[in-house]
Structure 1
Amino acid sequence: MMRKIENALAVALIAIVAVLPLFLKFMQGVCRVQVPGADIAVLHFVFLFASVAGLVTWREDRHLSLASLSSVFGEKIRRPIESVKTGGASCILSALFINAFCQLVNPAQFDARFWGMSVRFFFASLPLCYFGIIAMISCKKGNLIASLIGMVFGLFISMGPFTGILYYLFGMENVPSLYAINDAWLSFSKIALLPIIVIFSSLAFFGMPLFLVLGGIAYVLFSAGGGYVDVIPLETYRILTDRNIAAIPLFTIAGYILSQSSAGSRYVAVFKSLIGPFRGGTVIAAVIVSTFFSTFTGVSGITILALGPLLAVVLTGSGYSKDRAESLVTASGAIGLLFPPSAAIIMYATVNYFSIDVFDLFKGAIIPGCIMALSMMATGVVLDKRGERPKFSGKEARDAVLHCIPELLMPAFISVLYFKGVFDLFEAAAFAVIYAFCLSVFVRRDFTLKKSARVVASSVPVSGGVLFILGAASGISYFMLDANVPAILSGFITQYVKNPYVFLILMNLVLLVVGCLMDMFSAILIVSPLLLPLAESFGVSAVRAAVIFLMNLSIGFLTPPVGMDLFISSYTFDKPLSRVVKGILPFLIVQFAVLMLVTYVPFFTEAFL
Structure 2
Amino acid sequence: MILAFGGFALLIVSGIPIVLALGIAALITIVTFTDVPLAILAQRVYGGVNSFPLMAIPFFVAAGLIMEAGGIARRFVNLAAALVGWITGSLFMVAVVTGTGLAAISGSGSADTAAISSILVPEMKKRRYDVDLSAVIIAAAGSMASIIPPSIIMVVIAITTNQSIGAMFLGGIVPGLLIALSLMIGSYIFAKRGGATYRDAEPFSGRRLWTAFVEAIPALCVPIIIVGGIVGGVFTATEAACIAVFATLIISLFIYRELKLPQVWGLIQRTVSLSAAVLIIVATASIFSWIIANLGVPAALDAWLRSVTSSPAGFILIVTLLLLVVGMFMESISAILIILPVLMPIAVGYGIDPIQFGVLVALNLSVGLITPPYGICLYVAALVAGRSVEQVSRRVWIALVPMLIVLLLTAFVPVLTLALPRLAFG
**Normalised by the size of structure 2, how large is the TM-score?**
0.90
The answer for the alignment partner of 2:146 in structure 1 is 337
Q: How far off its partner does 1:305 sit?
A: 2.6
The answer for the alignment partner of 2:40 in structure 1 is 231
Measure, in 2, the Cα distance between the counterparts of 1:565 and 1:454: 23
Indicate conservation of the 8 Å contact 1:296/1:341, yes or no.
yes
Q: How far off its partner does 1:583 sit?
A: 1.5
The answer for the alignment partner of 2:410 in structure 1 is 598
Indicate conservation of the 8 Å contact 1:487/1:533, yes or no.
no
The answer for the alignment partner of 1:578 in structure 2 is 390
Structure 2 residue 180 is the aligned partner of structure 1 residue 373: yes
Indicate conservation of the 8 Å contact 2:64/2:108, yes or no.
no
Count of residues in correspondence between the two structures: 415
The answer for the alignment partner of 2:297 in structure 1 is 485
Q: How far off its partner does 1:234 sit?
A: 1.9
What do residues 561-581 of structure 1 show as CA deviations (whole Å, max 9, x unaligned)? 443333333333221222111
The answer for the alignment partner of 1:184 in structure 2 is none
Structure 2 residue 190 is the aligned partner of structure 1 residue 383: yes
From 251, 257, 274, the equivalent of 2:66 is 257
Q: How far off its partner does 1:430 sit?
A: 0.6
Greater CA radius of gyration, 1 or 2?
1
Measure, in 1, the Cα distance between the counterparts of 2:247 and 2:220: 12
Measure, in 2, the Cα distance between the counterparts of 1:285 and 1:387: 14
Indicate conservation of the 8 Å contact 2:26/2:291, yes or no.
yes
Measure, in 2, the Cα distance between the counterparts of 1:469 and 1:447: 31
Question: CA distance change for structure 1 residues 445 and 415 in 2, over 3 Å: closer, same or farther?
Answer: same
Moved more, 302-311 or 467-476: 302-311
Structure 2 residue 134 is the aligned partner of structure 1 residue 325: yes
Q: How far off its partner does 1:200 sit?
A: 4.6
Structure 2 residue 287 is the aligned partner of structure 1 residue 475: yes
Indicate conservation of the 8 Å contact 2:105/2:222, yes or no.
no
Structure 2 residue 326 is the aligned partner of structure 1 residue 514: yes
The answer for the alignment partner of 1:217 in structure 2 is 25
Moved more, 362-371 or 280-289: 280-289
- 1:162-181 alignment to 2 at 5 Å? none
Q: How far off its partner does 1:316 sit?
A: 4.8
Indicate conservation of the 8 Å contact 2:11/2:21, yes or no.
yes
Partner SS, residue 142 of structure 2:
coil
Structure 2 residue 279 is the aligned partner of structure 1 residue 429: no
Structure 2 residue 118 is the aligned partner of structure 1 residue 309: yes
What do residues 22-76 of structure 1 show as CA deviations (whole Å, max 9, x unaligned)? xxxxxxxxxxxxxxxxxxxxxxxxxxxxxxxxxxxxxxxxxxxxxxxxxxxxxxx
Question: CA distance change for structure 1 residues 216 and 489 in 2, over 3 Å: closer, same or farther?
Answer: same
Q: Percent identity?
A: 28
- 1:14-163 alignment to 2 at 5 Å? none
Indicate conservation of the 8 Å contact 1:301/1:565, yes or no.
yes
Q: How far off its partner does 1:317 sit?
A: 5.4
The answer for the alignment partner of 1:274 in structure 2 is 83
What do residues 387-427 of structure 1 show as CA deviations (whole Å, max 9, x unaligned)? 45322233322222222221111111222222222211111
Partner SS, residue 45 of structure 2:
helix
The answer for the alignment partner of 1:465 in structure 2 is 277
The structure, 1 or 2, with the larger RCO (C-alpha pairs under 8 Å, 6+ apart) is 2
From 286, 290, 309, the equivalent of 1:497 is 309
Q: How far off its partner does 1:196 sit?
A: 7.1
Question: CA distance change for structure 1 residues 397 and 494 in 2, over 3 Å: closer, same or farther?
Answer: same
The answer for the alignment partner of 1:360 in structure 2 is 167
Question: CA distance change for structure 1 residues 297 and 469 in 2, over 3 Å: closer, same or farther?
Answer: farther
Measure, in 2, the Cα distance between the counterparts of 1:358 and 1:340: 10
Question: CA distance change for structure 1 residues 409 and 317 in 2, over 3 Å: closer, same or farther?
Answer: farther
Indicate conservation of the 8 Å contact 2:320/2:364, yes or no.
yes
Measure, in 1, the Cα distance between the counterparts of 2:120 and 2:75: 12
Measure, in 1, the Cα distance between the counterparts of 2:292 and 2:222: 40
The answer for the alignment partner of 1:111 in structure 2 is none
From 11, 15, 31, the equivalent of 1:207 is 15
Q: How far off its partner does 1:194 sit?
A: 5.2
The answer for the alignment partner of 1:535 in structure 2 is 347
What do residues 437-490 of structure 1 show as CA deviations (whole Å, max 9, x unaligned)? 222223322232112211221232211111111111011112222333212211
From 223, 247, 253, the equivalent of 1:411 is 223
Letter in 2 for 1:211: V
Stretches of structure 2 that go unaligned for 5 or more consecutive residues are: 193-197
Q: How far off its partner does 1:261 sit?
A: 2.2
The answer for the alignment partner of 2:51 in structure 1 is 242
Partner SS, residue 277 of structure 1:
coil
Measure, in 1, the Cα distance between the counterparts of 2:331 and 2:204: 42
Q: How far off its partner does 1:351 sit?
A: 0.7
What do residues 264-294 of structure 1 show as CA deviations (whole Å, max 9, x unaligned)? 1111111211321234554333112223334
Question: CA distance change for structure 1 residues 263 and 230 in 2, over 3 Å: closer, same or farther?
Answer: same
Question: CA distance change for structure 1 residues 562 and 267 in 2, over 3 Å: closer, same or farther?
Answer: closer
What do residues 202-244 of structure 1 show as CA deviations (whole Å, max 9, x unaligned)? 3323432211111112222222221333232222222322111
Stretches of structure 1 that go unaligned for 5 or more consecutive residues are: 1-192
The answer for the alignment partner of 2:209 in structure 1 is 397
Letter in 2 for 1:284: M
Partner SS, residue 394 of structure 2:
helix
The answer for the alignment partner of 1:420 in structure 2 is 232
Measure, in 1, the Cα distance between the counterparts of 2:408 and 2:51: 34
Letter in 2 for 1:265: R
The answer for the alignment partner of 1:107 in structure 2 is none
The answer for the alignment partner of 1:549 in structure 2 is 361
Question: CA distance change for structure 1 residues 408 and 295 in 2, over 3 Å: closer, same or farther?
Answer: closer
Measure, in 2, the Cα distance between the counterparts of 1:227 and 1:414: 43
Question: CA distance change for structure 1 residues 472 and 296 in 2, over 3 Å: closer, same or farther?
Answer: farther
Partner SS, residue 607 of structure 1:
helix
Measure, in 1, the Cα distance between the counterparts of 2:173 and 2:118: 28
Measure, in 2, the Cα distance between the counterparts of 1:317 and 1:264: 20
Indicate conservation of the 8 Å contact 2:331/2:374, yes or no.
no
Question: CA distance change for structure 1 residues 256 and 206 in 2, over 3 Å: closer, same or farther?
Answer: farther
Indicate conservation of the 8 Å contact 1:326/1:573, yes or no.
yes
Q: How far off its partner does 1:304 sit?
A: 2.1
Q: How far off its partner does 1:296 sit?
A: 4.0
Indicate conservation of the 8 Å contact 1:295/1:341, yes or no.
yes
What do residues 107-154 of structure 1 show as CA deviations (whole Å, max 9, x unaligned)? xxxxxxxxxxxxxxxxxxxxxxxxxxxxxxxxxxxxxxxxxxxxxxxx
Question: CA distance change for structure 1 residues 574 and 339 in 2, over 3 Å: closer, same or farther?
Answer: same
Measure, in 2, the Cα distance between the counterparts of 1:389 and 1:576: 28
Indicate conservation of the 8 Å contact 1:512/1:553, yes or no.
yes
